[in-house]
Amino acid sequence: MTAELDHQVDLLRRRLASDPRAFREVFISEGMQAVAWEFQQPELGEDFTRRLWDMMLRGDDSSTVLMRFIWNLPLSGKRKFVRAIDAHLSDRYPMFAGLSKGWPAQNAIEPFVRDADSRATDFGLVNQGFLGYLEQGYTQREVDLLVWLEVLRDKQCEEKPCELGEFLAGCREPTGGCPVAIHIPQVIELIGNDRFREALELMESSNPLPDVTGRVCPQELQCQGACIQKLPIAIGQLEWYLPEREKLVDPQATARRFAGVRDPWEMATHPPVAIIGSGPSGLINAYLLAAQGFPVTVFEAFHALGGVLRYGIPEFRLPNELIDDVVAKIRMLGGRFVMNFVVGKTATLQDLRDAGFARIFVGTGAGLPRFMNVPGEHLLNVMSANEFLTRVNLMQGLRSDYETPLPETAGKQVLVIGGGNTAMDAARTARRLGGHVTIVYRRTQAQMPARVEEQHHALEEGITFEELRSPVEFLGNDNGFVKARPTW
């Protein structure tokens, strides 16, 4: 049957190249008859499964046809395929072992996460996603198929809760869903049909920062939280896989995409717009406006762009190069950036209007910390997580060649008060600086607002949690430094 399969697929390839519009007819009649016959059997045989997989690895028209065929199978056919790769390909792909148990609702291929021992002392990316398998010796096409297997779990439900949210009785607004209105079901369908580039284009039409939001958005409360699968589709992983994949398979794609863009300042068809703040909202607005032909200038108070993305989120969770990618795209669209510019100090809003800016978007963020107002908060080495992270991330306080003052952390007991994402980032940063870290939270771990993934990673890295605790006082020594754990 293998020789017949090769012959039929070769016919399909030639027909598809000469007349792509005849795809459906060819799909049903000529090229896929051998494959369809195999899928009518109770189970897929080992030789057929191995040959089928190897053909999908080619990355040519025939592999696309096979992927589309399986994508369009009913759930029973997809389960048969997953049982086959579990049974016959687990020797080549250990992540396939046991995959068919509970698939698709309760089982999936996990993205690659570095082990706790190797990651807890450096600032390298922890969750490396599906692309992490490249470092394990798999090819780009093999990784594409791992991602395809993830979207194969999708139920293709008509309600689209991942995009639109869940409409509950008595609620005016939906719960969950995508806040930037990415057409998630269509993105998934495009990936399922081996159309990765088109999936990226559709996603970026709504969100120019997919490789950022895919890592830091609380998907468990939004798109994935509304997924009807017991184990949600890894939408966040798909979101940042697509642009990172593009950089690997076609490094010049972005330059070609923006090559013909005319300078909006020279065109002068739209009035200039000022964007105050280069955080996520500022960058998104700058990109979308510049893409529509508006002359855009972004004013940033710090010496580096990115706002909270750069100073607040450590690189083990969000690499700075991703921020630089977005900035580069905005510049290609004619956007301009002015750093070390504090609006209200360097210039007022009226000054910007007088300079010719017709519209001003203020995206200054919510960077002020909130303290507990307990005795001893004034002591040295008691600081907000915002300040600590800014000293480490933006001001490079962890590096010996920088003069940024940073509390001595190595070998010290470090308490982080709070259970949100900022607290988790501060705790894991202190762990990487050599501290013995304890997170103190006034409620239970289950009630922590931090992402569940970040909580698990913190525990794996040796950080301890103290639940149902809240400091009432910090104690200090005669020199004004905090000297002891607070009393509860």
Domain ranges of the chain: 2-103, 112-251, 264-362
Reported as a single tens digit per residue, the pLDDT across 268-321 is 999 999 999 999 999 999 999 999 999 999 999 999 999 999 999 999 999 999
* Mean pLDDT of the 62-83 span: 95
In this predicted structure, which of 175-184, 230-239, 284-293, 418-427 has the lowest mean pLDDT?
Answer: 175-184
Q: What is the mean pLDDT of the chain?
A: 92
| Homologous superfamily (CATH) for 112-251 | Alpha-helical ferredoxin (1.10.1060.10)
Say how many CA atoms lie within 13 Å of 264 toward its Cβ.
Answer: 24
Residue of 100, 20, 6 lying closest to 61 (CA atoms)? 20
* Predicted confidence (pLDDT) at residue 55 exceeds the cutoff of 60: yes
Output the pTM of the full model.
0.89
157: phi then psi, degrees, rounded to nearest 5: -75, 145
In this predicted structure, which of 11-20, 132-141, 396-405 has the lowest mean pLDDT?
Answer: 11-20
Confidence of residue 368 (pLDDT cuts 50, 70, 90): confident
The pLDDT of residue 29: 53
Reported as a single tens digit per residue, the pLDDT across 176-204 is 899 988 999 999 999 999 999 999 999 99
In this predicted structure, which of 23-32, 35-44, 183-192, 343-352 has the lowest mean pLDDT?
Answer: 23-32
For residue 352, how many other CB atoms are within 10 A of its CB?
18
Percent of the chain with pLDDT over 90: 80
The pLDDT of residue 312: 93
In this predicted structure, which of 14-23, 269-278, 433-442 has the lowest mean pLDDT?
Answer: 14-23
Residue of 378, 362, 369, 237 lying closest to 312 (CA atoms)? 369
Reported as a single tens digit per residue, the pLDDT across 128-142 is 999 999 999 999 999
Q: In the β-sheet with 413-417, what is the strand arrangement from edge to edge?
A: 413-417, 436-440, 464-466
**Is the peptide bond between 104 and the residue preceding it cis, with omega within 30 degrees of 0?**
yes
The pLDDT of residue 488: 56
Across 237-272, b (16+ Cβ under 10 Å) vs e yields bbbbbbbbbbeeeeeeebeeebeeeeebeeeeebeb
Identify the three-state secondary structure at position 199.
Answer: helix
Identify the three-state secondary structure at position 455.
Answer: helix
* Predicted confidence (pLDDT) at residue 400 exceeds the cutoff of 90: no
Answer left, alpha or beta for residue 44, where phi above 0 means left and psi between -120 and 50 means alpha.
beta
The pLDDT of residue 12: 66
The pLDDT of residue 25: 53
The pLDDT of residue 486: 53
Task: Retrieve residue 104's tokens.
Answer: 């698709």
Q: Are 418 and 335 in contact (CB under 8 A)?
A: no
Report how far apart, in Å, the C-alpha atoms of 267 and of each of 34, 73, 200 are: 58, 51, 28
* Predicted confidence (pLDDT) at residue 459 exceeds the cutoff of 90: yes
Q: Are 161 and 227 in contact (CB under 8 A)?
A: yes
* Predicted confidence (pLDDT) at residue 172 exceeds the cutoff of 80: no
The pLDDT of residue 27: 47
The pLDDT of residue 439: 97
Tracing tokens 């008859």 back to the chain, one arrives at 33
103, amino acid identity: W
Architecture of domain 264-362: 3-Layer(bba) Sandwich (3.50)
Report how far apart, in Å, the C-alpha atoms of 329 and of each of 187, 261, 266, 279 are: 22, 11, 18, 15
Tracing tokens 């000297």 back to the chain, one arrives at 483
Reported as a single tens digit per residue, the pLDDT across 90-105 is 999 999 999 999 999 9
Tracing tokens 């964007």 back to the chain, one arrives at 275
Task: Retrieve residue 70's tokens.
Answer: 């399986």
* Mean pLDDT of the 226-247 span: 95
Task: Retrieve residue 271's tokens.
Answer: 């009035």
Task: Retrieve residue 276's tokens.
Answer: 């105050």
* Predicted confidence (pLDDT) at residue 23 exceeds the cutoff of 70: no
Q: In the β-sheet with 296-299, what is the strand arrangement from edge to edge?
A: 336-338, 296-299, 273-276, 359-362
- Which residues lie below 8 Å from residue 260, measured CB to CB, with a gap of 6+? none
